[in-house]
Chain A
Amino acid sequence: MMRAFELTKTKVRYPGSDFPALDDVSVGADEGEIVLLLGSNNAGKSTFCRLLNGLVPNSIPAQVGGKAEVLGRDVRRTSVARLATLVGMVFQEPDNQLFCMSVEEEVAFGPENLAIPRAEIIARVEWALEAVGLSGYNARSPSNLSGGEKQRLVIAAALSMRPRLLVLDEPAYALDPAGRLDLYALLRLLRERYGMTIIIAERDAEEMAELCDRVILLRNGRVVADGPPSEVLSDIDEVVAAGVSPPQIAHLSSLLADRFPGKTRPFLTTDDAEKEIADLVRTAGSGAP
């Protein structure tokens, strides 16, 4: 299977900046993975995302050292427009990405630029709207949609170019908690149905443990941890040091392990936590170890 992306000793430095935005990053992902890029503000998440679709360095000037490949292509030698057919990009605020006057035009914009024949565009628009649950919204005005619908429309507008990778830079920024869960459910669905590779950059790891297969923890432009969520998120010290608040349940798991060594197994979900703590409290009086 082809690697979705592969960075090897990648270094990105913006002109006039004293510190590299990404420093000696060697990390990759297989196709079909859901990867969480976790880090505080200025950890390098946005640079990472923009490197994957070639905005860095093709549109935003930057020095890129090392190797940076997406689906086997060197991002420095591939135009942003060409990469758009491989990598769909979703930014923070939908209002800054929806510039058309109707939903269908928004979704058709990418394919139109790629000079896809009209019949095919129509099919793609219908498919993309269906994939994000906005079928029948064709003639609506994007500015009249709800926050959650807008973000789904942004995703549809990327999907219509049939990318294999979807990169989302803090996509839940403008959403309420329920909208955030809906979005995550949609992303899981896209992976299940279409085998898409999904890279999500977030500042906050709550509710993420169950969504992603892998977590890449960034700190000051460097990868400080990379592995399954159960591993990365339960290393609370590392997560906190990276300026990220750990998921509460993972945090609890680690605090309990410190306080009662050997008495609990690590957990990530509320259900497991409930069982562990109930056991822990009940065994206290019985004199069991």
Chain B
Amino acid sequence: MTRFKDLYTEADTFLHRLDPRVKMASVLLLSLLALIMSALAYLLVLLTFIFVLLLLARSSYRKTAFAMKFVLRFMALIAILWPLFDPSGTPVLIRLGPVVITEPGIWRGLASAVRVGCLATVWYILIFTTSQRDLVRGLVKLGLRFDFGLALAIALRYFPTFGTVMESIIDAQRSRGMEFEKGNMFVRARKYVAVLGPAIVSALKTADMLALALQSRAYGARRNRTYLRELKMRPSDYVALVTVLAMFIVPTVAKYAFSVPI
């Protein structure tokens, strides 16, 4: 259930050092770029660029493999299914009763697969190289209220804990002879009452204690709190941001203002 606590891997690369706000903005811009571009060749260039960044992120091999497995499967699925449902254009390559497959359909399928690949993997750059606390810190700095940021951080922090609790509860019920694998869907769903009940009780107890702990640590003492770690844009952050902005603006202007087929 919780194979990895999160996909973030501790390392010291330039991607790790980048300000989380710059990373968020860059990932967003590159995602938009993937949506704007439609030519397979350019999309492939973008995908290659993202892959190079992923390699530079020095994530663990296992985590990368785990994350990429889903993306590659999804890409393959799109590349195969797209031509079946998009029979426009010529030449027609295959005609089997109602099924028509055309050459442009295949190209568009490939382009869509690559685009989805870009959209998914670009976010991995952010997730692989940014700790949850930096993500939350970035969001708060971008204007998210501190309470919400804290709630989000606590939720992320306790997610794996909750997973462990669920596993323990399942173990406790299996020890009393419960077999979760047996029975039809409804029978099985009913069995999870024996898991959800205790899970909710223990989550509520944890929440209760957390509330006391937060207050005991002066939570809410001042309206304007200070921060141990302040996010500060460094020259390299600006360079990165300008580079990505250029990567976004140049093709966009070329495509819409000058009708370059990108």
Stretch at the interface among B23-31, B84-92, B215-223: B215-223
Give the total of A residues in contact with B, Cβ under 8 Å: 42
Smallest Cβ-Cβ distance to B219: which chain A residue: A113
Q: In this assembly, does B182 line the interface, its C-beta being within 8 Å of a C-beta of chain A?
A: no
Interface residues, chain B, with chain A CB atoms under 8 Å away:
131-133, 153-154, 156-158, 160-161, 206, 209-222, 224-230
Other-chain residue from B132, B209, B225, B229 in contact with A96 (beta carbon distance below 8 A): B209
- Min CB distance, A251 to chain B, in Å? 34
Contact between A81 and B219, CB atoms less than 8 A apart? yes
Other-chain residue from B132, B210, B217 in contact with A101 (beta carbon distance below 8 A): B132
- Min CB distance, A140 to chain B, in Å? 10
- Min CB distance, B203 to chain A, in Å? 11
Q: Contacts A82-B221, A85-B218, A110-B218 hold; do A105 and B228 have CB atoms under 8 A apart? A: yes
Query: Which 9 residue pairs across A and B have the least CB separation, nearest first?
Result: A81-B221, A108-B228, A96-B209, A89-B216, A84-B218, A97-B213, A101-B133, A115-B222, A113-B218
Contact between A112 and B225, CB atoms less than 8 A apart? yes
Stretch at the interface among A27-35, A116-124, A224-232, A265-273: A116-124
Number of A-B contacts defined by CB within 8 Å: 108
Roughly how many angstroms separate A112 CA and B211 CA in the complex, as a whole number?
Answer: 17
Contact between B213 and A96, CB atoms less than 8 A apart? yes
- Min CB distance, A70 to chain B, in Å? 13
Q: Contacts A93-B209, A99-B157, A101-B132 hold; do A84 and B226 have CB atoms under 8 A apart? A: no
Interface residues, chain A, with chain B CB atoms under 8 Å away:
50, 53, 55, 59-60, 79-82, 84-85, 88-89, 91, 93, 95-97, 99-102, 104-105, 108-118, 121-122, 125, 143, 157-158, 161
Roughly how many angstroms separate A5 CA and B9 CA in the complex, as a whole number?
Answer: 48
Query: What residues on A are CB-neighbors of B210 within 8 Å?
Result: 96-97, 99
Query: What residues on A are CB-neighbors of B153 within 8 Å?
Result: 99-101
Contact between A121 and B226, CB atoms less than 8 A apart? yes
Q: Contacts A101-B132, A143-B161 hold; do A59 and B226 have CB atoms under 8 A apart? A: no
Query: What residues on B are CB-neighbors of A157 within 8 Å?
Result: 217
Contact between B228 and A84, CB atoms less than 8 A apart? no
28 A-B contacts (beta carbon < 8 Å): A55-B212, A55-B215, A59-B212, A79-B221, A80-B215, A80-B218, A81-B221, A82-B221, A84-B217, A84-B221, A99-B154, A99-B158, A99-B214, A100-B133, A101-B153, A101-B156, A110-B217, A112-B227, A113-B219, A113-B221, A115-B222, A116-B226, A118-B226, A121-B226, A121-B228, A125-B228, A143-B157, A158-B216
